[in-house]
Amino acid sequence: MESTLIECEPATDANPIAQGDVFEWKTPRFGHSLGIIVTADCDIAWNKFGAFLTYVPILPLHDYLRTDYLSGQCRSAATKLLRQIALQIEEIRERSRPEFSRQIEAGTLERWLLDSATDDIIQALNAPESRAMAKLRDTIENWRELQSAPSKETAFEQQVDLLIRSTSTTESAINKRIHDHVQRLPGDRLYLTAVGGRDEAGFVVMIRNLREIAEDEIAIKATQQARPSKRIARLSSPYRYRLTQQLGDVFAAIGLPEEYERRRDELLLQSYKLKESAK
């Protein structure tokens, strides 16, 4: 059954640029090809936006997952592996070099791993080959791969494979985590199923990442095709209004001091304990 959902309408007219207009760079800039204008219509009408319009990038879902979500998962997994490496080295030293049995600090260990080859680290431990040494070598190599995974050049599939191998997690479990994350995107992200007729798995609007573009850089007529980008669609309601609502929420939020949160938690915990003791 064909979907009747229309988040973006084709922009085939020559109406002036407006909030919610989607454009495409002919050559990707700043790691993205698509953007959506967020400058208010009243500011555009009264020419209050200065030399540049404000827009936010739109990423295909796989690119968003690769550069934002999965790269964060890989960094988190690398941090856990670093702790595992420290514990494995401590156990090996306790058996072979008890004078160095104290656990190595995380910062010192990370610098050692970055500055030295795996074979040099294994040799420096001066311990006989064993199952523990082989396990340490594998853990270090997994850590190295995870360290490079957040790179923009790392493919989506490669990141998923790394997480499966390095965290002993099944592919279905990772897919479920991805599904749950997209269903509950942070407030500075907005999911769209389609943009400008493109056949993708969906798109994510990066609301917090404000960018600028000159109005005369966007082609809206056939006679303006020499411009570096062109308008391809416009966000329809209620999605346009949802975008502006989330934009306001993101930049209107006022953070409170950590001391406030710490004191709040202490009082709540104290109150809970008092109620428990009264039972």
Mean of per-residue pLDDT scores for the chain: 89
pLDDT on residue 4: 66
Angle CA(149)–CA(67)–CA(78) in degrees, nearest 5? 35
pLDDT on residue 1: 43
Task: Locate 14 and state its tokens.
Answer: 């020559």
Q: Give the total number of structural domains in the chain.
A: 1
Residue 1 within a domain: no
How far apart CA 278 and CA 169 sit, in angstroms, is 44
Question: pLDDT category, 12, cuts 50, 70, 90?
Answer: confident
pTM confidence score:
0.79
How far apart CA 66 and CA 139 sit, in angstroms, is 23
How far apart CA 63 and CA 32 sit, in angstroms, is 9
**Nearest C-alpha neighbor of 76 from the set 162, 153, 185:** 162
Residue 199 reports pLDDT greater than 80: no
Question: pLDDT category, 37, cuts 50, 70, 90?
Answer: very high
pLDDT on residue 115: 95
Please classify residue 235 by burial: count the beta carbons closer than 10 Å to its beta carbon, then call 0-12 exposed, 13-18 middle and 19+ buried.
buried
Which residues does residue 229 pair with via DSSP β-bridges, in sequence order? 25, 218
Angle CA(256)–CA(262)–CA(267) in degrees, nearest 5? 115
pLDDT on residue 191: 96
**Nearest C-alpha neighbor of 256 from the set 265, 247, 248, 269:** 265
Residue 48 reports pLDDT greater than 70: yes
Residue 2 within a domain: no
Angle CA(135)–CA(136)–CA(138) in degrees, nearest 5? 65
The residue range of the domain holding 63 is: 7-279
Report yes or no: 184 and 200 within 8 Å, Cβ to Cβ.
Answer: no
* pLDDT tens sequence across 120-129: 999 988 888 8
How far apart CA 77 and CA 96 sit, in angstroms, is 28
Residue 5 reports pLDDT greater than 80: no
Chain centroid offset of residue 145 CA: 18
